[in-house]
């Protein structure tokens, strides 16, 4: 196996509107759930930095796109803000149209393929008040929004994504307190997950109805589940973790149907998901053209407590592998082989559907400690992280995995929900006081990889 990647391989980064754009209350944008949460409970946010300014892409996108070109990008994934494009749900905001059309046009003019996502956790507040993804009305609103986006930007964008990590708002909002509504309720979680999936299917149907050129997919955070041991109860735990956190979305979007074990789970938990036969047919008829895969860390589990455990603890519990390599800043395990395991799983079990690495990166707190005398962050840890994952990706591709690109998270240090700028992920450093962008060492390394389409021998 050599270090070269296939011709036309996509190199770039991922970002999202709410984490990058700023201008949170300007230019006709409506309020999102994150705007509301920061207004009402700023103490929940690590640095008390809200979503108003973030990384000021809205006002600095022209220079940012030139920086992307300068470090070798041939593609860039971002998202449209639902609340910016359709602030009231029906009337298109022309200021948003002008902004996004110029962004997509400039990307194309600079040889950078736009991959555009419709939803990245930024529920319009007006819909949140009505129940968000627990409300079937939100599905119809999302369908109208998707249709408006395809009609408005379809001449500039031919690669679309419906959702980024749809399991995350379900997990963090209904089994945790990191997203609103911040409750622990399995039945509400299942309802929100179903309506999110239905919204995805409706958006795909809109894309096909409009006969748009191009392709449409979804981005899932596929987290391999590894058992503590080879004992049957540990392997059973890994099976359930995989079903609930991977296959609950992966199977429906690729095959158009849920894994049979999901029916078993819902029955065990006496959870009633309000589906209709017509909706299940819609999901069956609107599978994706490709997958985006976000990979940061594995999930290691051990047998659950079937007798006294509550919630998902009955099915599996976390396990901390003693040999794990940990990112001390984020607390996440670094396990590069997981990307190879994902590649073979898609190859063998998901009809080798085309896919790309939509996010892969490392967050580090206190990166100013790695500034050299010239003001450049010497982030060798990020270079090693990318290089090691790319080696395993190449191995999977050499064995037949149908991967067509690699996007790092992220281009520029950006705002990350409740943690804001605690951990930095960018190839470029953002000075919060001045909004100045500065290339890190990893940006130079990424440029070399992207422009030569191969890994340097020394890495």
The answer to whether position 457 is within a domain reads: no
- Encode pLDDT of 140-162 as tens digits: 999 999 999 999 999 999 999 99
Task: Please state, for a pLDDT cut of 70, what percent of the chain lies above it.
Answer: 99
Answer whether residue 214 shows pLDDT above 60: yes
Torsion, CA 447, CA 451, CA 456, CA 459, rounded to 10: 30
The answer to whether position 298 is within a domain reads: yes
pLDDT given at position 307: 79
Answer whether residue 113 shows pLDDT above 60: yes
List the domain range (segments joined by +) for residue 213: 10-452
Q: Which residues of 357-377 are buried (b: 16+ CB within 10 A; e: fewer)?
A: bbbbbbbbeebeebeeeeebb
Answer whether residue 310 shows pLDDT above 60: yes
Answer whether residue 229 shows pLDDT above 60: yes
pLDDT given at position 418: 96
Calculate the average pLDDT of the chain. Answer: 96
Q: What is the CATH number of the domain that holds 262?
A: 3.20.20.80
Answer whether residue 198 shows pLDDT above 70: yes
Answer whether residue 2 shows pLDDT above 90: no
Catalytic residue positions, numbered? 165, 359
Among 325, 349, 320, which Cα is nearest to 336's? 325
Distance CA 33, CA 386 (A): 33
Three-state DSSP at 195 gives helix
The answer to whether position 24 is within a domain reads: yes
Among 75, 80, 139, which Cα is nearest to 112's? 75
Three-state DSSP at 274 gives coil
Among 261, 267, 229, which Cα is nearest to 242's? 261
Task: Note whether 384 and 375 are within 8 A (CB).
Answer: no
Backbone CA torsion sign across 173, 85, 63, 38: negative
pLDDT given at position 459: 57
Work out the pLDDT band at 356, boundaries 50, 70, 90. Answer: very high
Distances in Å between the Cα of 239 and the Cα atoms of 273, 312, 449 are 22, 13, 37
- Encode pLDDT of 157-182 as tens digits: 999 999 999 999 999 999 999 999 99
Three-state DSSP at 422 gives coil
- Encode pLDDT of 7-57 as tens digits: 999 999 999 999 999 999 999 999 999 999 999 999 999 999 999 999 999
Task: Please state, for a pLDDT cut of 90, what percent of the chain lies above it.
Answer: 95
The answer to whether position 458 is within a domain reads: no
Task: Note whether 15 and 427 are within 8 A (CB).
Answer: no
- Encode pLDDT of 60-83 as tens digits: 999 999 999 999 999 999 999 999
pLDDT given at position 78: 98
Give mean pLDDT, residues 106-124.
98
pLDDT given at position 8: 95
The torsion angles phi and psi of 75, rounded to 5 degrees, stand at -160, 160
The answer to whether position 115 is within a domain reads: yes
The answer to whether position 385 is within a domain reads: yes
Distance CA 420, CA 423 (A): 8
pLDDT given at position 219: 98
Domains identified in the chain, total number: 1
The answer to whether position 168 is within a domain reads: yes
Three-state DSSP at 438 gives strand
Answer whether residue 212 shows pLDDT above 90: no
Work out the pLDDT band at 119, boundaries 50, 70, 90. Answer: very high
* Longest CA–CA separation in the chain, Å: 64
The answer to whether position 4 is within a domain reads: no
Work out the pLDDT band at 311, boundaries 50, 70, 90. Answer: confident
Task: Note whether 404 and 354 are within 8 A (CB).
Answer: yes
- Encode pLDDT of 271-285 as tens digits: 999 999 999 999 999
Tell if the pTM clears 0.85, that is, is over it.
Answer: yes
- Encode pLDDT of 422-451 as tens digits: 999 999 999 999 999 999 999 999 999 999
């Amino acid at each position: 196996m050599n270090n070269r990647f296939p011709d036309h391989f996509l190199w770039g980064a991922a970002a999202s509107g709410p984490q990058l754009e700023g201008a949170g209350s300007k230019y006709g944008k409506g309020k999102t759930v994150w705007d509301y949460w920061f207004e009402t409970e700023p103490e929940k946010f690590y640095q008390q930095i809200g979503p108003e300014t973030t990384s000021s892409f809205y006002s600095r996108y022209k220079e940012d796109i030139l920086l992307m070109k300068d470090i070798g990008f041939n593609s860039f994934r971002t998202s449209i803000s639902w609340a910016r494009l359709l602030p009231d749900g029906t009337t298109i905001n022309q200021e948003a149209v002008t902004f996004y059309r110029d962004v997509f046009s400039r990307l194309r003019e600079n040889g950078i393929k736009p991959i555009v996502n419709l939803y990245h956790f930024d529920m319009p507040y007006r819909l949140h008040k009505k129940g968000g993804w627990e409300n079937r009305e939100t599905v119809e609103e999302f369908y109208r929004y998707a249709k408006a986006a395809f009609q408005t930007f379809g001449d500039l964008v031919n690669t679309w994504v419906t959702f980024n990590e749809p399991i995350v708002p379900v997990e963090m909002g209904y089994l945790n307190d990191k997203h609103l509504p911040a409750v622990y309720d399995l039945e509400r979680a299942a309802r929100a997950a179903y309506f999110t999936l239905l919204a995805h299917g409706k958006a795909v149907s809109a894309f096909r109805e409009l006969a748009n050129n191009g392709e449409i997919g979804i981005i899932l955070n596929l987290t391999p589940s590894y058992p503590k041991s080879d004992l049957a109860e540990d392997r059973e735990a890994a099976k359930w973790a995989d079903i609930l956190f991977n296959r609950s979305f992966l199977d429906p979007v690729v095959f158009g149907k849920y894994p049979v074990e999901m029916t078993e789970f819902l029955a065990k938990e006496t959870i009633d998901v309000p589906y209709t036969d017509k909706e299940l047919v819609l999901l069956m008829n609107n599978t994706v053209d490709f997958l985006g895969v976000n990979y940061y860390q594995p999930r290691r589990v051990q047998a659950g407590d079937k007798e006294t455990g509550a919630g998902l603890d009955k099915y599996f519990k976390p396990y901390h592998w003693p040999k794990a390599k940990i990112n001390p800043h984020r607390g996440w395990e670094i396990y590069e082989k997981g990307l190879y395991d994902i590649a073979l799983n898609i190859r063998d079990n998901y009809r080798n559907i085309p896919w790309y690495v939509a996010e892969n990166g490392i967050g580090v707190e206190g990166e100013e400690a790695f500034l050299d005398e010239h003001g450049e962050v010497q982030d060798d840890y990020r270079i090693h992280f990318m290089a090691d994952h790319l080696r395993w990706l190449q191995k999977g591709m050499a064995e037949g995995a149908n991967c067509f690109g690699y996007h790092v998270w992220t281009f520029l240090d950006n705002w990350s929900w409740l943690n804001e700028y605690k951990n930095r992920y960018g190839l470029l450093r953002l000075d919060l006081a001045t909004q100045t962008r500065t290339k890190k060492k990893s940006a130079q390394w990424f440029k070399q990889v992207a422009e030569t389409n191969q890994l340097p021998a020394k890495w």
